[in-house]
Amino acid sequence: PMCYHRFLLALRLLNGLGIEDQPEFCYGVHKDIIFRDFRNKTVIYKPNDAYLYLIDFFDVFFHGDYRKLNKFFSKKDFKEANKIFDDRINNRDEHFQYLLTDEKEFMLFKYDEKIHVAFIKENYALCNANRENITDLELLLGLCKLFARIYFPEIKLKLIPNDCVEIKTIIPKEALQKISPTEPTEEDSKRDKYIWNVFPSELDTLSQFSKEINIYLDKKKNLAIRLHIGIESEGILNQSKRMLLRYRDLRLIFNILYRLYNDFYILHI
């Protein structure tokens, strides 16, 4: 009971031990905290980066259908599982998005700002992903696809096998032409102030999490921004050691792309 945020439970789970090998009381409390947090009830700690066995994940988030979902996932019958998810979204007023990755290794769920990842082959789920590392390119591409589908569907994504995910967005020529050529004053628009005062620091942030970043004028004179995002980032504050990309780092990248998309791209399509 004294282990911080029940991290010993995660250690056992990630090392392949089954639910029968977990301390029953501790695991039950841990599961209940994740459930209470999901229902926006008071909890003794925020269960960020919390792991559950897949059947318990389904019990917390899809109670009533968890046995069916566990059976469908064990048989990799995702068509039937998706029917349950779609029914909950369309007919039961539940608000979440989901995505099965291309190789069917991961199922991603997004509730408001919270991300949960089902590791299908390993038979467990990561709840409220935050500081944990993204350790697989398929998972990284799936996260990019899910966020792009929700927030910026016109952004182009491309998997470069065994290397990275390429993300490309643009600031349209028409938007560029409206930006002040001189440093903005108090009367200038918010977009001018963003490009002059904020955009350079956000490019620096993107470069810290990118294997490569290219900014150029394309054939249509749009300002193109192309990022290569891998599961290793370049590190923070010029640290020489590369660091594994975390879920919270990817969210920061998405926040910057979302701002660019809404302030510059979507106004000109």
Distance of alpha carbon 267 from alpha carbon 262, whole angstroms: 7
116 with 160, same domain? no
101 with 62, same domain? yes
Residue 236 pLDDT exceeds 60: no
62 with 77, same domain? yes
Residue 2 pLDDT exceeds 80: no
Contact 134, 245 (CB under 8 A): yes
11 with 121, same domain? yes
Domain end among 100, 132, 164: 132
117 with 18, same domain? yes
Q: Please name the residue that has the structure tokens 């016109």.
A: 154
Domain end among 108, 132, 156: 132
Backbone angles phi, psi at 154, to 5 degrees: -85, -10
236 with 164, same domain? yes
What one-character DSSP code corresponds to residue 19? G
Domain end among 116, 132, 148: 132
Confidence band of 246 (pLDDT split at 50, 70, 90) = very high
146 with 75, same domain? no
257 with 150, same domain? yes
> pLDDT, tens digit, for every residue of 152-189?
998 999 999 999 999 999 988 988 888 888 887 776 67
Q: Residue 168: name the closest of 109, 222, 242 by CA.
A: 222
Which CB contacts under 8 angstroms, 24+ apart, belong to 114-118?
Answer: 115/143, 115/247, 116/57, 116/61, 118/54, 118/57, 118/73
Contact 247, 114 (CB under 8 A): no
Contact 106, 118 (CB under 8 A): yes
pTM of the model: 0.91
Distance of alpha carbon 65 from alpha carbon 76, whole angstroms: 16
Distance of alpha carbon 268 from alpha carbon 220, whole angstroms: 14
Contact 143, 235 (CB under 8 A): no
> pLDDT, tens digit, for every residue of 103-118?
999 999 999 999 999 9
176 with 203, same domain? yes
Q: Give the helix ranges, DSSP H, for 39-169.
A: 54-61, 66-74, 78-91, 137-151
91 with 197, same domain? no
Total domain count, the chain = 2
Domain ranges, residue 234: 139-268
Residue 264: what pLDDT?
80
Quick one: CA torsion of 28, 32, 33, 35, rounded to 10 degrees? 140
Residue 269: what pLDDT?
44
> pLDDT, tens digit, for every residue of 19-55?
999 999 999 999 999 999 999 999 989 999 999 999 9
